A = this chain, B = another copy of it.
Amino acid sequence: MAAVRYELIKECSQTKARVGRLHTPHGTFETPIFMPVGTQGTVKTMTPEEVRDLGAGIILSNTYHLYLRPGSDLVREAGGLHRFMNWPHGILTDSGGYQVFSLGPLRKITEEGVEFKSHIDGSKHFFTPEKSIQIQMDLGADIIMAFDECPPHPSEYDYVKKSLEMTTRWAKRCQAAHTREDQALFGITQGGMYADLRRESAARLVELDFPGYAIGGLSVGEPKPLMYEMLEATVPELPKEKARYLMGVGSPDALLEGVARGVDMFDCVLPTRVARNGLAFTTHGKVVIRNARYARDFERLDPECGCYTCQNYSRAYLRHLYKAEEILVYRLLTIHNLHILLKMMKEARKAIEEDRFLQFKREFLDKYGQEMDHS
């Protein structure tokens, strides 16, 4: 039996949404699922127990960041990332591709791999598909990702076409380099904002028979409708019996639209990053907690929310902590934002199971669209 296996449970009759189970060596997780991001081996501000209590079963961590600091050899010596960070549940590591490419002028791409400079100390490094896989085997996540090129948006058709061909060749090299049987290696489809290239990339990777497929190169600055169009081009090319993972998406609306288009897994720094900037997702839209209107607002952040933050603190107190730059507020808003997203995904799963997902999505987004705060 494969280390990681996707099991399809139920399909929506009106959309491509589906409920499934992702079986991994560190637990079985219901999909569609949102994976909080723990870039440097910690979901920022949170203990692992808190992340788990919010309902997260699997988190994402970053190959690029952990390779540079503390070093993947050190994590291996520590017994792997699960043990190092005290998280006995699922972990997915990205390949470092996205971080390496988003460094821009600091990198140089060849067929062999990518030379880049560390954002920490400027030191030079060279990532190849083989090197990315070696690092990810050292880290020991349950799901690891192929090393891909993620073209910026916008990119010319010809560039994207050549890029996806190289990404396909790299995907094969990743497969050849991957030897750990307790991990699954997922492929990453690319294709920029060109539907035919999206289809082509998916078809080429499906030929390589990965146990799961990511949709990469989206949520890179394009308008959301264009992202949905690209999803619609990609997902139908992917096999039903494998998990589908949309990388870098975490706003409530994009999550539900992704689910509607057949995506099973998502990750994004958005809910945790905006929390540290004082922005809360609520059932009625966004709340910017620093705003003066909340100074004497002794109501809870989101009256319909049952999270720890909303059960115990007023907007006025949260605003006070934010203005005073108190660490507690970063925790409290992170708890809230993760709770909102993880609960939304749970409700989405239930709605799919009960074949009322389209109605659930419409109601959720209608409410969420009535934003309390547009700043």
Contacts and interface: CB of A to CB of B under 8 A. Distances in A.
Interface of A: 40-42, 44-47, 69-70, 74, 77-79, 84-86, 295-296, 298, 308, 312-314, 316-317, 319-321, 323-324, 326-328, 330-331
Contact of A70 (B41, B312, B313, B323): B323
A303 to B, nearest CB: 17
B40 A77 contact: no
A327 B330 contact: yes
A211 B45 CA distance: 41
A47 B324 CA distance: 16
B313 A86 contact: yes
Contacts of A47: 308, 328, 331
A135 to B, nearest CB: 16
Nearest to A321: B42
A312 B50 CA distance: 14
B42 A77 contact: no
Nearest to A327: B45
Nearest to A46: B328
Contact of A298 (B77, B295, B313): B77
Given A44-B326, A86-B312, A327-B327, 18 more contacts: A40-B320, A40-B321, A41-B317, A42-B321, A42-B326, A42-B328, A44-B328, A47-B328, A69-B324, A70-B320, A74-B320, A77-B298, A78-B298, A78-B317, A84-B314, A86-B317, A327-B330, A331-B331
28 contacts: A40-B324, A41-B320, A42-B328, A44-B328, A45-B327, A46-B328, A47-B308, A47-B328, A47-B331, A69-B323, A70-B295, A70-B316, A70-B323, A74-B295, A74-B320, A77-B296, A77-B298, A78-B298, A78-B314, A78-B316, A78-B317, A84-B314, A84-B316, A85-B317, A86-B312, A86-B313, A327-B330, A331-B331
A45 B46 CA distance: 11
A317 B78 CA distance: 9
A111 to B, nearest CB: 33
Contacts of A85: 317
Contacts of A46: 328
Contacts of A86: 312-313, 317
Nearest to A311: B86
A41 B326 CA distance: 10
Nearest to A40: B324
Contacts of A70: 295, 316, 319-320, 323
A189 to B, nearest CB: 31
A59 B312 CA distance: 18
Contacts of A327: 44-45, 327, 330-331
| 9 nearest A-B residue pairs (beta carbon) | A70-B320, A45-B327, A40-B324, A86-B312, A42-B328, A42-B326, A84-B317, A78-B298, A327-B327
